[in-house]
Amino acid sequence: MRPLKIFIADDHQLVQEGLSSLIRGIEHFTLVGAASTGEELISTLSRAEVLPDICILDIEMPGQGGVATLRILKERFPALKVLILTMHEESFYVNRVIKEGADGYLHKNLNRDSFIESIGKIMKGESFFVQGLDATTPSPAQDTANPDVLTPREKHILRLIALGKSNKEIAKELHISHRTVDTHRNNLMHKLNISSSVLLVHYAYSNNLL
């Protein structure tokens, strides 16, 4: 298994040092760089011969800030995964970064296990968001379909996705194959006119499907 290349962008030195120490202590995780501002991060990645696999990004940094930085990252480096790390759990912040394409959202009081879990899910193409997202958060898209178009089975699978279950976990719980879970996930996105697994999670919360 090749090492997973991780880049940190946070203006707090203690946070950078703590994350660096955490990453170095995890097998197959490799820290490839750190930045204190969004501008520094973008500049460094623009010059890099090989991009990191995932960037851990603080939502509040001096200069252009985390949200603007996230938008630029997703425009210039669409294959790069981005995990937002923040002190905020309010739905307003989660909603903003979901709209900009964040792959995950984790509180800074994280522990080692939740950190490893979040990275693992994101690198599998799944999403990882803090629990307790306000169900009243507005939908990220104006033209998503009504939940009534979903079958009971599809609603059940959507709930499991929103709860952070992996495809493997869903397959085991429902006694179906991994491929069948993938098919259901794709059908959900097609029926609801949703473009990513991240937005599926947001849709489930905003439509009280949990």
Average pLDDT score, the chain: 85
Residue range 104-138, pLDDT digits in tens? 888 877 788 888 988 998 998 887 876 544 433 44
Q: Is 59:87 a contact under the CB 8 Å cutoff?
A: no
Domain limits, CATH 3.40.50.2300, in the chain? 4-129
Of 52-56, 62-66, 94-98, 144-148, where does mean pLDDT reach its minimum?
Answer: 94-98
What is the three-class DSSP state of 72? helix
- 17 versus 136: which is more confidently predicted? 17
- Please state which of the four CATH numbers 3.10.129.10, 3.40.30.10, 3.40.50.10490, 3.40.50.2300 is assigned to the domain occupying 4-129: 3.40.50.2300
Name the pTM for this structure.
0.65
Nearest residue to 87 (alpha-carbon basis) of 11, 162, 139, 201: 11
The domain defined by 147-206 carries CATH number 1.10.10.10: yes
CA distance 78 to 117: 22
If 0-12 CB within 10 Å is exposed, 13-18 middle and 19+ buried, where does residue 142 land?
exposed
CA distance 86 to 84: 6
Give, in order, the Cα–Cα distances in Å from 48 to each of 2, 43, 81: 19, 9, 16
CA distance 18 to 179: 38
Residue range 33-44, pLDDT digits in tens? 999 999 999 999
Residue range 54-63, pLDDT digits in tens? 999 998 888 8
pLDDT at 138: 40
What is the three-class DSSP state of 146? coil
Domain limits, CATH 1.10.10.10, in the chain? 147-206
* Confidence tier at 76 by pLDDT (50, 70, 90): very high
Nearest residue to 161 (alpha-carbon basis) of 171, 170, 172, 153: 170
Residue 143 phi/psi, 5-degree rounding, is: -115, 25
Q: Show Cβ contacts of residue 148 under 8 Å, excluding neighbours closer than 6 positions.
A: none
Residue range 96-111, pLDDT digits in tens? 788 788 998 888 777 8
Nearest residue to 53 (alpha-carbon basis) of 129, 125, 127: 125
CA distance 200 to 185: 9
CA distance 27 to 31: 11
